[in-house]
Each structure stands twice: as structure tokens, then as C-alpha cells.
Amino acid sequence: MEIIVRYKSRGYKTSRNILHEGSKDIVYKRSYDLFKFPQHLAYRLIGSNLFLRNSHYSLLNSDNSIWHLFNGISWNTYPWITTFETSLPRWGNIPEWLYNKGIKQLAKNNCKKIIAMSCCAAQIQEAFLKEYSPAYKEVIVEKLEVLHPPQAPLIASYKEKNLNNIRIEFTLIGADFFRKGGTEILKVFDQLLKNDSPVKLNIISSLSYGDYASHTSVEDLERAKKIINKHEHIIYHERLPNNEVLKLLKNTHIGLLPTYADTYGFSVLEAQAAGCPVITTDIRALPEINNQHCGWIIDIPKYESKKYNEIGRAKFRTPKGRKAISQAIEEQLTNIINDIVDNPDVIEKKGKKSLQRIKKKHDPDDHAHKLRYIYQHALL
């Protein structure tokens, strides 16, 4: 039976988690919903509105079609499923009664499946329901399933990597530079390069600052630019075409994501797919996709409670917490890189294991097969 999967927009996360072009018996159709116009109008007037962006209603459907949303909740009576990265409803600061409406939509029979991108996200969702809507917790949790994003290998084997072994190349990719540990990375590499350490740093970022986690300012940006401009072995790109990014990863020894806050860490998957072991922190989903076996983990101060808004999160909400995070990243990153310089053979060992885990844990065909199974059973 041909299955029509309807989706709202071809955003990055929708492309990564939903769209499998060429999948057998599945036809993807981008279909606009009635929230599209008010969402666009609100964006032009006041900026992004999470309620409008992550709500859905459409008059279009057929017997063999299902809506697949990302971070979304549908107000339709048609069959729908949703993939999410943190918890649902993801509507931002809205009245409690409206949140309760969203939870009721998740509990309805036409909501067929709720797909968490990680085990951490599933735990956050369960904790949220336990705290705010225990009456609906059981029926919603029954629909909950964890399905990590797919990632195709970028190389068939580690032998394909084109590495310059004069210097060990590290690469950081991400717009929110400071949230992803940019300040700490530059401090560490500034000192390493002053000491003639055989390292090189590639940065692909718009150098965005002022994010919710690092609370950085324009002064932090100026300090970062001074360090970047100081060293010939720190190479900065504001942006690169995707094919150039993939080429850079193939020529990179080690990926970097010593982040304060991330819901998942797609750049980790991309680096591992190119045979690059990655240095990450241990927040949110990162311990599920990285470990000391295939990479390196930096332990940063995290909440120990089971509250939904603290599970897996670093303590970045206070100046004291941000200072402790920064110190932990800087100290541990320095130690890790010095150890790598002293024992460079570990790069290939962990690089091979990174590529192996991508092939085993994020196979696109396996992901497509699981989604097809979910769609088929949702339409019975």
C-alpha cells in the first residue's frame, strides 16, 4: 500500500528526522496548514511564535495519508504523529489552560505515535506529564518511542580520510558559537598555539552571541575575533557550502562540541560519519551518541533532580553556574588535547569506532524501515 506522508516545511530537523526520499511505498507531500499565515504575520511583527510554529491544522487529507510533524501538535481529527527533541507541547510561554489543551490533543486516538529523538527527551516528556498532567501520562507514554536521527556514512572506511599529520586538525561547526563552547575552545587553542603545540582549529560559525545558555555579549565576540585573527592555525569560515563542510570533516582529525546546551548534537553525527571522534560535554542526548570508547567526554556541572526542566541540563542559569561550566570545559579540554598530542594513535582508533557506531546505530535504511512500520500501523 502506498503511504502519503504530509509535512509542513522542509526545515533542517524535518529533513533529518522525517524525509527519506526514495523510500519504497512512501510519497512525501509538503502541505500547508491554516497556521501558516498567522505564523508568518506574527514573525514579521513580533518575531518567532512557538505556539503558531508548532501547531497544525489542515483541511487536506486522504485515507492513505498521515501527517508527520516535528515538535508539532495537530488540532486535526486526521491521523498524525510527531517527532520531538525536548518535550511536548513545545509552545513557549503561554497560558496553562492552552498547554492542557495541547496535552489532550496528544492523548486523543488520532495522535498515533510520539517519537522522541533521544532517551533523554523521552525522560523529559514523562517527567513533564508526571508533574503537569498525571491523568494523561499513561495514555501518552504508551505512544512514546525513541528513534535516533539517521546519518549516512560520509566515508566507507577510515582509509579514505585525507589527513595532514603535521598538525592535528580540530573542527567546530555551529551558528551559536559561544553556546557550543566557543570561548573555552579559543582560550585553550590560544594557549596551545603559544606553546607551539602541533594543532590546528577550523571554525564554521556565524559567531552568534547572547544565547540563553552562555549569556555572552559583544565584548566576548570582540575578544574571540582577536584570538582568531592572532593565529594562522585558527581558520575561520562564517559559512561554507554543505559539500565543502563534508570535505573539511573528511580532512579533520577530531570534532568539537563542548557545549553548554544542545537538545541533540547533529554535528556529532556528521563528524562521526566522517571518521572523526568528537570531544563533547555530557549534557542531554550527547552521552547517548558519544562516549570515551569512540570519543571524549567532558563532565560539566549538571542538575541532579528529576524535574522535567532540569533532566540532562547543565547549570547555566546563574553566573556562578556558567563560571563553573566554563572552568570545567577549559580545564578538561586542555587535558584531553594534551593527551591526544602525546598519544596521537588514539585518533585513528576512536575514529574507526566512531564510524562503526554511525553505521550500526544510525543506518538510514533501518530508520526508514522503522518509520514505515509506524505509518502502516497508524493507518490500520
Render pLDDT for 87-101 as a digit per residue (tens, 0 to 9). Answer: 999 999 999 999 999
Residues 14 and 117 both lie in one domain: yes
Residue 49 belongs to what domain range? 3-150+363-378
User: What pairs with residue 146 in β-bridges?
Assistant: 116
Render pLDDT for 147-169 as a digit per residue (tens, 0 to 9). Answer: 999 999 999 999 999 898 899 99
Residues 120 and 220 both lie in one domain: no
Which position has the higher pLDDT, 136 or 21? Answer: 136
DSSP type of residue 90? -
- CB proximity list for 326: less than 8 A, separation 6 or greater: 183, 184
How confident is the model over 113-123, as a mean pLDDT? 98
Q: Contact at 8 Å (CB) between 20 and 367? A: yes
Provide the 3-class DSSP secondary structure of residue 143.
coil
How confident is the model over 19-39, as a mean pLDDT? 85
| Dist. CA 66–CA 31, nearest whole Å | 11
**Range from 14-23, 72-81, 229-238, 262-271 carrying the lowest mean pLDDT:** 14-23
Tell how strand 111-116 and strand 26-30 pair up: unpaired
| Dist. CA 166–CA 288, nearest whole Å | 32
Q: Is 326's pLDDT higher than 80?
A: yes
Q: Is 62's pLDDT higher than 80?
A: no
How confident is the model over 325-345, as a mean pLDDT? 98
Which position has the higher pLDDT, 271 or 43? Answer: 271
Phi, psi of 193 (to 5 degrees): -70, -30
What is the model's pLDDT at position 170? 98
Residues 184 and 106 both lie in one domain: no
- Assign residue 221 the CATH number of its domain: 3.40.50.2000
Residues 221 and 126 both lie in one domain: no
**Range from 30-39, 95-104, 182-191, 205-214 carrying the lowest mean pLDDT:** 30-39
Residues 53 and 142 both lie in one domain: yes
**Range from 10-14, 43-47, 291-295, 354-358 carrying the lowest mean pLDDT:** 43-47
What is the model's pLDDT at position 41? 85
Render pLDDT for 194-224 as a digit per residue (tens, 0 to 9). Answer: 999 999 999 999 999 999 999 999 999 999 9
Q: Provide the number of structural domains found in the chain.
A: 2
How confident is the model over 340-353, as a mean pLDDT? 98
Residues 229 and 123 both lie in one domain: no
Record the pTM: 0.94
Residues 250 and 220 both lie in one domain: yes
pLDDT category at 21 given cuts 50, 70, 90 is: confident
Residues 60 and 142 both lie in one domain: yes
Q: What percent of the chain has pLDDT over 90?
A: 86
Residues 177 and 143 both lie in one domain: no
- Assign residue 128 the CATH number of its domain: 3.40.50
Residues 24 and 131 both lie in one domain: yes
Provide the 3-class DSSP secondary structure of residue 83.
strand
How confident is the model over 128-147, as a mean pLDDT? 96
Residues 108 and 244 both lie in one domain: no
Render pLDDT for 262-312 as a digit per residue (tens, 0 to 9). Answer: 999 999 999 999 999 999 999 999 999 999 999 999 999 999 999 999 999
Residues 193 and 325 both lie in one domain: yes
